[in-house]
Amino acid sequence: MVTRAGAGAAVAATAVVALLSAALALYRPPLDAVLERAFSLRKVHSIKDMENTLQLVRNIIPPLSSTKHKGQDGRIGVVGGCQESLRSAPYLEHSHCRETAGITYTGAPYFAAISALKVGADLSHVFCASAAAPVIKAYSPELIVHPVLDSPSAVDEVEKWLPRLHALVVGPGLGRDDVLLRNVQGILEASKARDIPVVIDADGLWLVAQQPALIQGYQKAVLTPNHMEFSRLYDAVLRGPVDSDDRHGSVLRLSQALGNVTVVQKGERDILSNGQQVLVCSQEGSSRRCGGQGDLLSGSLGVLVHWALLAGPEKTNGSSPLLVAAFGACSLTRQCNHQAFQKHGRSTTTSDMIAEVGAAFRKLFET
């Protein structure tokens, strides 16, 4: 779907749901008009547009080959996980976790890491606080769990694994403990220095809202905020409230203000932008909003981002590989939700959704 605005502002025609040249963003009123017009056409074109974009996702998926070794299809690391605990827990006496004010999760990093594996990564690591490690390990023997995130040498411990990782997912179950966040800051800096793609979610986004400079202009970062996280980020970066009538423009502007970092705003429909294009993912999901779905999204996105960068823009018809990867992860998460809801209805949990990853992946990307 191609739209035009202003004299000579040509919009390149790629098969995305909505495509807007970055130049358009300079003209506020025309941009809004264009966006509105673009998305008013969405209903007519949505099925075809979705299908065209899904085809781009299919293009980035590496063929399985019997000559490959373990690890070649993806080694993903998840940074997060700190068991909430109290001063009364004596075995955590020396752990920084006990001072955490906010609640923290072991489920979130597990969901993200196991999702990465089920999407097709060969190996999935979790870098978490020491107290969280036995719990996360106990969820599944499939994961490699490193109890390092609250260690004084956390950054070094993660950094020595970076050469062996294709992508990092930062934030699931991270919490807001100062020591952990300082370590995560170091891990993000080390990842940038090595040009490793990072997906940032949950309290990883809280950290970015405190210090946008951490990912400013880093072209291999993808942020996956929900409604609240998006507002906080937007306010931190653009110093003003989000225009709730203009979700598409808001996502576009936040991405641009961050130096074209890819932003995925999760919601009833997911709005995605890299500051140049805006995509809308309206793959049918369900109305079930159980906690943990965002971890399925971030974990699968970790794999898809790696595959997309490996494939390169020639496989995505000129669109940003990261944007195509994000569209793939959004579609997959929604399809998992849809399938799980068909079976389990209101009782659907994120574990039910993760059990659908294989079938949902085949349905969307291997037909």
Is 128 annotated to bind a ligand? Reply is no
**Binding string to a second copy for residues 347 to 366, with x set by CB under 8 A, is what?**
xxxxx-----xx--xx---x
| Interface pick for a second copy out of 28, 37, 48, 68 (rule CB under 8 A) | 68
Smallest gap from Cβ 28 to a second copy, in A, equals 28
Whether residue 103 contacts residue 84, with contact meaning beta carbons closer than 8 Å, is answered with yes
Smallest gap from Cβ 7 to a second copy, in A, equals 39
Is 336 annotated to bind a ligand? Reply is no
With CB under 8 A as the contact rule, which of the stretches 3-11, 113-121, 216-224, 305-313 interacts with a second copy? 113-121
Structure tokens at 320: 């940003």
Amino acid 14 reads T
Residue with tokens 């018809």: 317
Is 137 annotated to bind a ligand? Reply is no
Q: Which of residues 157-216 bind a second copy (CB under 8 A)?
A: 157, 161
Q: By CB under 8 A, tell whether 286 contacts a second copy.
A: yes
Q: By CB under 8 A, tell whether 36 contacts a second copy.
A: no
What letters, b where the CB count within 10 A reaches 16 and e where it falls short, cover 23-61?
ebbeeeeebbebbeebbeebeeebeebbebbbebbebbb
**Binding string to a second copy for residues 117 to 136, with x set by CB under 8 A, is what?**
xxxx-xx------x--xxx-
Backbone angles phi, psi at 139, to 5 degrees: -65, -35
| Interface pick for a second copy out of 8, 40, 43, 65 (rule CB under 8 A) | 65
Q: By CB under 8 A, tell whether 330 contacts a second copy.
A: no
Smallest gap from Cβ 358 to a second copy, in A, equals 3
Smallest gap from Cβ 195 to a second copy, in A, equals 23
Using CA atoms, how far apart are residues 297 and 299, in angstroms rounded to an integer?
6
Q: Tell me the angle at which helices 28-40 and 42-60 cross, rounded to the nearest 10 degrees.
A: 90
Task: Label the pairing between strands 198-200 and 270-273.
Answer: unpaired
Q: How many residues bind a second copy (CB under 8 A)?
A: 83
Is 312 annotated to bind a ligand? Reply is no
**Binding string to a second copy for residues 140 to 159, with x set by CB under 8 A, is what?**
xxxxxxxxx-xxxx---x--
Is 51 annotated to bind a ligand? Reply is no
Q: For residue 219, give the nearest of 256, 184, 171, 181 by alpha carbon.
A: 256
Contacts of 173 (CB under 8 A, 6+ apart): 80, 81, 82, 104, 105, 106, 107, 108, 109, 128, 132, 202, 203, 295
Structure tokens at 81: 């996980």
Is 366 annotated to bind a ligand? Reply is no
The residue (of 59 and 317) whose beta carbon lies closer to a second copy is 59
Smallest gap from Cβ 345 to a second copy, in A, equals 5
Smallest gap from Cβ 140 to a second copy, in A, equals 8
Using CA atoms, how far apart are residues 76 and 290, in angstroms rounded to an integer?
25
Smallest gap from Cβ 80 to a second copy, in A, equals 13
**Binding string to a second copy for residues 255 to 284, with x set by CB under 8 A, is what?**
-------------x----------------
Q: By CB under 8 A, tell whether 41 contacts a second copy.
A: no
The residue (of 211 and 342) whose beta carbon lies closer to a second copy is 342
Annotated binding site for ATP, which residues? 266-270, 285-294
Annotated binding site for (6S)-NADPHX, which residues? 173, 226-232, 295
Annotated binding site, which residues? 173, 226-232, 266-270, 285-295
